[in-house]
A and B are shown apart, each in its own frame.
Chain A
Amino acid sequence: MRKFGLMVAVSLAVCLALAPMAGAAEIKVGGIYDITGATSDVGKDYGTGAIAAEKYVNANGGIDGDTVKLIPNDYAYKIPEAVNLYKQYLSVDKVFVIQGWGTGDTNALRPLINKDQVVFMSASYDGNLTDPKQTPYNFFIGTDYSTAIRLAMQFAQDKGAKKVVFIYPDHPYGKNPIPAGKAYAEKIKLNIGPDEIVDLKAIDATSQLLHMKQFDPDYAWIGGTTASTAVIIKDAAKLGLRTKFMINCWGFDENLPKLTGEAAVDRAYGMMPTAVWGTDVPGMKAVLASAGGQAYTLHYIKSWVSMLVMTEGLKRAKKAGKLNGPGLKAALETIKDFDTGGLTAPITYTPSDHRPNTSMAIYGVAAGGKLQKVKDVTLERVPEYIGK
């Protein structure tokens, strides 16, 4: 009998320990990540960062006492799978905010997001998603791709470039920023060569680069992810091209020098919306602590900041007493010059402009494979570029 009593006591204790603390509500957040798909080279760290940030937020008071519960799932970079997960989160988990991933699926979900009034924080920084008239519920934390590609063109011209080429995968992520880049390049009188398509899963880019060599550009834009970018950089070095590469933020990270070796030195430049791993800024301490000694890439940091901004929005929404989709949207739009501790430039959303900021850093690779800041750049925040 005593044994039975003990067992009851133990199981009660276990239940109590496992049960969430009384009075604290749980705010569920859907998570759509790419762990096994075409962009998993950068998606894995992004997913890990989100889970670490969830822990950090809850350990530091949560949303004024409420806890955040992230429900992460892999969608393998397939649009229909993202639609399935979205439906699952809405009908079963009853979320009003989702942390999403790719450009293709985020754009595909636009009609549903608007209909269901769900705040969708994507890892796609597509310029299309910054116009609240079209996409009132889409938010993201990094400088948008269109701004990045304009800044890249400006940087190329400042370095004396005359000719540029655009290299990208045939995916919405690669294609969407290109018109903005071309329009800007034309405006500042750069000569544009024929586009080259390099797949996200490419293992060889020699034929594209040989074709590009005929035009012999000074600078080329790469709109892929790290794995395919590394292929391009290595092949360019092998062919002895003089072209330098401006790389979108998902194609340039701490893994690139590891994959390319010395080839990336003085050849690869990344348009970085966030600080790289281990940069000496106040916000990095918590990031490093959460990783427990492991070294991740800057995509971890992007995800971390996305969760922090969402948390700030949730806090403001809770204060206003409106913990729902429209409430969170309104709360996020009150965020002005939000300090991420130097992890990104200060973030501002307004009801007419969802671009978080228009500043970024250009990074290069130093000898020895360390990422090194080359220059801080800012594009003037003009209304004509909203949503384009």
Chain B
Amino acid sequence: MPCGLFFSKYEKDDAIFKTVWLKCWMTVLVVLLLTFPLFSQKFSEMLGLNVTNLLNLIFVYIIGAHGLNLLTGYTGQISLGHGAFMGVGAYTTGILANAGWPFWLALPAGGVMTAAVGMLFGIPSLRLRGLYLAIATMAAQFILDYAMRNWTSLTGGSSGLIVPSASLFGFTFDSDQSFYYLALAFAIMATMYLKNLARTRTGRAFVAVRDRYLSAEVIGVNLFKYRLMSFGISSFMVGIAGGLWAYYITIISDEHFTMWLSVQYLAMIIVGGLGHVLGGIFGAVFFVVLPELLRLPAEAATAVYPNIFGIFASLREMVFGLIVIMFLIFEPDGLAARWHTVRNYWKLWPFSY
């Protein structure tokens, strides 16, 4: 039995799922995900959490996190405007859906609109890097945030905008269970897209720009083109996430797409793992599930000490912050790196050396 991976063909070395075992595990995962709604109700009641709702949110955030990971993790351009970009996608999709556009048209239109806005605000990336770019994109965040709140005739202002449920081929995705499949499909598409993009000429150009932009330019990578392209694709993905989110929550208001969401997206990919496809997935799971898990002890403690319900509710936010800091200190490469460590340990278990 070989104690490692020995490929005799380049195709095999290039495959996404390299071993039989990996293929088996992926099949198990896909089957589990597809059949999940069948037993989600039992599962939710056992945990005391609405698991389907959480998974739907996770799928939506995975798409957005992949988007930002492409920009920040692969191309090395920081953005503090992705919260607002998600809002642009949500509002565009919502407004078009209210104008009678079908789901399959309104959602990509939202993505394209967001891509356009993202590229516009990505133009400064030609000259600005690092912290300077962060501030420039933060300006985008504030400008868009202001527009969402005050362009009342278009966005409904602070009262929010009501969006119809998504419907496709006469079927309406108006329950958590039905939306689950829609969100799952888009999350899988986004993941496959990012995974494959990273293996293409474009993806390698992105990485070259990130690692040393001067060398990249010397070997013929058009910096401006690839930076802008990265902004465009990244914004498109986060716009799609916003559009899906609008169809799911069915009411959008500006207070969701604040600076906090932008920071949360960044935190997601940093905690998950910058420049790893798995990073976006782990990050989204972490940031959706942890606050909900922290709600459970707060709820239980309230049953015993009702008078300090307020303290427990605030404590939850603090514990959340603390856990994020701990992760950054003890696993700075993100959950994806830890995942690889664990996987490599088990690969040769019990004969590792």
Contacts and interface: CB of A to CB of B under 8 A. Distances in A.
Interface residues of A, number: 33
Contact of A104 (B158, B313, B316): B158
Nearest to B41: A91
A223 B94 CA distance: 30
Contacts of A33: 313
Task: Say what secondary structure dominates the interface of chain B.
Answer: helix
B306 A71 contact: no
A79 B160 contact: yes
Nearest to B260: A78
Interface stretch (B136-144, B200-208, B247-255, B264-272): B247-255
B309 A72 contact: yes
A83 B256 CA distance: 12
Contacts of B255: 78-79
A113 to B, nearest CB: 12
A91 B53 contact: yes
Interface in B305-353: 306-307, 309-310, 313-314, 316-317
Interface in A45-75: 47-48, 51-52, 54-55, 71-74
B27 interface: no
Nearest to A44: B310
Interface stretch (B44-52, B117-125, B186-194, B220-228): B44-52
Contact of A47 (B49, B176, B310): B310
B195 interface: no
Interface in A26-42: 33, 35-36
B249 A104 contact: no
Contacts of A54: 306
Contacts of B309: 35, 47-48, 51, 72
A36 B313 contact: yes
Given A80-B249, A88-B50, A172-B159, A36 B299 contact: no
Find the residue from B41, B50, B162, B317 having the highest chain A CB count within 10 A.
B50
A171 interface: yes
Interface residues of B, number: 33
A79 B49 contact: no
B37 interface: no
Interface in A335-378: none
Interface string A141-182: 000000000000000000000000000001110011000000
A51 B307 contact: yes
B108 interface: no
Interface in B29-76: 41, 44-45, 48-50, 52-53, 57
A108 interface: yes
A84 B176 CA distance: 11
A200 to B, nearest CB: 11
A92 interface: yes
Contacts of A78: 255-256
Find the residue from A36, A71, A91, A107 having the highest chain B CB count within 10 A.
A91
A92 B45 contact: yes
A111 interface: yes
B210 interface: no
A79 B44 contact: no
A84 B256 contact: no
Nearest to B57: A84
A104 B255 CA distance: 11
B256 A71 contact: no
A55 B303 CA distance: 11
A87 interface: yes
B157 interface: yes
A104 B314 contact: no
Interface string A89-127: 001100000000000100110011000000000000000
Nearest to B47: A92
B251 to A, nearest CB: 4
Contacts of B162: 108, 111
B256 A107 contact: no
A71 B307 contact: no
A108 B251 contact: yes
B253 A74 contact: no
Given A44-B310, A88-B49, A108-B160, A51 B302 contact: yes
A36 B251 CA distance: 22
Nearest to B50: A88
Contacts of A48: 307, 309-310
Given A83-B251, A92-B49, A175 B314 contact: no
Contacts of B149: 170
Interface in B228-263: 249-251, 253, 255-256
Contacts of B306: 51-52, 54-55
A51 B302 CA distance: 9
A44 B312 CA distance: 12
B160 A104 contact: yes
B53 A88 contact: yes
A230 B316 CA distance: 29
A31 B101 CA distance: 37
Contacts of A108: 160, 162, 251, 253
A79 B159 CA distance: 10
A104 B253 contact: yes
B255 to A, nearest CB: 6
B157 A170 contact: yes
A295 to B, nearest CB: 14
B44 A83 contact: no
A104 B253 CA distance: 9
A91 B302 contact: no
B49 to A, nearest CB: 7
Find the residue from B52, B306, B309 having the highest chain A CB count within 10 A.
B309
Contacts of A80: 249, 251, 253, 256
B219 to A, nearest CB: 46
A92 B52 CA distance: 11
Given A36-B314, A92-B45, A170 B158 contact: yes
A91 B176 contact: yes
Nearest to B311: A35
Given A35-B309, A52-B306, A108-B162, 18 more contacts: A33-B313, A44-B310, A47-B310, A47-B313, A48-B309, A48-B310, A51-B306, A83-B250, A84-B53, A87-B50, A87-B53, A88-B49, A88-B50, A91-B41, A91-B50, A104-B159, A170-B157, A171-B158
14 contacts: A33-B313, A35-B313, A47-B313, A51-B302, A79-B251, A79-B253, A80-B251, A83-B250, A88-B49, A92-B49, A104-B158, A172-B158, A175-B158, A176-B159
Interface of B: 41, 44-45, 48-50, 52-53, 57, 149, 157-160, 162, 176, 249-251, 253, 255-256, 295, 299, 302, 306-307, 309-310, 313-314, 316-317
List 6 A-B pairs, minimum CB-CB distance, nearest first: A74-B313, A35-B313, A51-B306, A108-B251, A88-B50, A44-B310
